[in-house]
Every structure is written in structure tokens, then in C-alpha cells.
Amino acid sequence: MPTYPPQHTNKDANLPTSAHKCSGNMERVRLAIFVLGIVVFCGEAFQDSKDPLPLVIWHGMGDSCCNPFSMGGIKKMVEQQVPGIYVLSLKIGNTIAEDMENSFFLNVNKQLAMVCEQLAKDPGLQNGYNGMGFSQGGQFLRAVAQRCPSPPMKNLISFGGQHQGVYGFPRCPGESSHICDWIRETLNVGAYTKLVQEHLVQAEYWHDPLNEEHYRNGSIFLADINQERGINESYKRNLQTLEKFVMVKFLKDSMVDPVDSEWFGFYRPGQSKETIALQESSLYTEAGQALFIQDNALLRTMIFKKVEKSFHLTNKNFVCSSDDQQSVYTTRLL
């Protein structure tokens, strides 16, 4: 049995329980303020002076719709900042416990069907809504925009969404540790089998750059919405109706490998060291089949944002860097 290096440890690992809770809560508060900063910064996309568009939120892996320290807190904060707005934080299942469990074990395509049906029946959304997805909720809401154009999604903000999938284990130190390679190899043995694909959410956006054909043929979710198995003109057409598609990349994200997936980048095929941008990938270059093509209307709606290290809070200000202008924007929140 080989000996693997110890997994990455959190810098707060030796703190007492109360300090852990305090540290975790502070991070959640920072995230909520960061989210609100994006909402304010992109204000024209999220609210109208007379009648604000509704907001639909999809949480990430292991989270739930209503956790007061994450999605519940964000929902409340947006409602306070934008008076009169209708915010729907999606719950996948009948209970909070089911919602969390389903983020790991309920087939993504089934989740999407459930959400699309819920949105179509919600009278508060029939004139359109904005979407805000966190981590895997980012690509899930993008799939909603592609598959379910009614009611129409007007704008989408993806916080750390893995739009080209992942090839690394959450909170694993990536290429710096052999254990990550071991986990990848283990998952790849069965990631694309029917049983695993239908019952493990993360396998459905597991993207193996060492065997792209295996990925394309076996992935029942990501390869489909990224149009890597065939042409679906409705996917492209529906996605192009978005007025803004904002993608926020966290440069120090320990949950996503590679981080470039948050901007549709990924590993260059055949290896797992060098990453390439969207414009170099098959999603952009493969004639006739690419989800994005040069001069595509969708590309002109895409906004790329990045967070260098962590959230910066100064006098209730939100600071982020804009990749297209390499400048810093500061928005007064309160």
C-alpha cells in the first residue's frame, strides 16, 4: 500500500470549536457582502427602478437553500438591498436535509427537470428572472438557461461555477500532492459508468483531460450542455438570449481544480498541467459544433470577474478586479 502525503490542512485546524465557528461565520458574511457588491455593481442587470426582476439562487455542493449563514443570509441581504424583489432560493427536495443530500446524490438531469417545472409554475417568474449560482449551482443554472427558456432567464451570475468541469478532488492540494492523482485515477476508473453517472452529482461534471473521448461518451450532463457530443442549436440560441453572463473566478479556490474552469478554461487535452482559455478550447474553435464561436452574440454579453485572494472589506466597500480593464472597482454597499 503506497504512502500518500497528508492532505491539505486548514490554517484554523488547531483553533477551538468556538473559533472555528467564528471563522466560518465571518467567511460566510464576507461572501454575502461580496455577492451584494456584485449585485450593486451590476445593478442595472438586477433591478429596475419600478419593478425589480425576481432572483433565483441555486446553492453549491453540500449547502442548502436556507442556511442563514449562506444562501438564507444572502437571500435576506438582497431583499433588504432591493426593496420589493422576489427571491427564490431553490430547494431540491422536500426538506433541508434532502436538499443537502441531493446536492451529492440526485442525478443532475433530474434536478434540472424538477427546477424547470418549478420555475414554469411560479407565477412570480413568468415575466423573467435573474439567476445567481454558487459553485456547481453556477453550471446548473446555466443549464436551466439552455434547456428551459420559459420563463426567460435575463441575466446570470456564476460564483465559482465549474463550467468546464473539474479534474481534482475538493479541498485537495491539486498537483502538489500525489493523493490528488490517486483520487483522480480512482474516480476515473468508474466515473463514467452508468451507475456512478446516475447517482453521483460530482461525477456528472468530472472532466478527464487525459481521455476526452471517454469523457464525451460517458458524461450524461456536462458533455451535453457544453455541446461536446453533438449539435443542439437550441442550447446556443437559448444561451444567447442572456443580457449579461457574469462569471466570478476565485483565484485561490480550493474547491475547484482547475480554477480556470470558472471562466470556461480547462486543461489542454492529453495532460493535466497546462490550462488553456475558452478561446483555445473546442467550445470555441470546433467549427459548427462549438457552444461559443467567434463574434457569437453570447461572447459580447459575458463579463469576467476575478477575486485575487480573499474578500476585501474597507468601510463597507466591496473591491474586485475587472479582467477586461485590469482596474479596480469600489462600490459603496450601505
Q: What is the pLDDT of residues 201-215, one digit of tens each?
A: 989 999 999 999 999
Q: What confidence score (pLDDT) does residue 137 get?
A: 96
CA 297 to CA 244: how far, in whole Å? 11
Q: Which residues contact 122 (CB under 8 A, 6 or more apart)?
A: 88, 151
Q: Which residues of the chain have pLDDT under 50?
A: 1-26, 28-29, 40-41, 173-176, 179, 309-334
Q: What confidence score (pLDDT) does residue 16 get?
A: 42
Q: What confidence score (pLDDT) does residue 190 get?
A: 86
Q: What confidence score (pLDDT) does residue 138 get?
A: 96
Q: What confidence score (pLDDT) does residue 221 get?
A: 98
Q: Compute CA distances 262 → 55, 58, 169, whole Å.
A: 21, 16, 15
Q: What confidence score (pLDDT) does residue 189 get?
A: 72
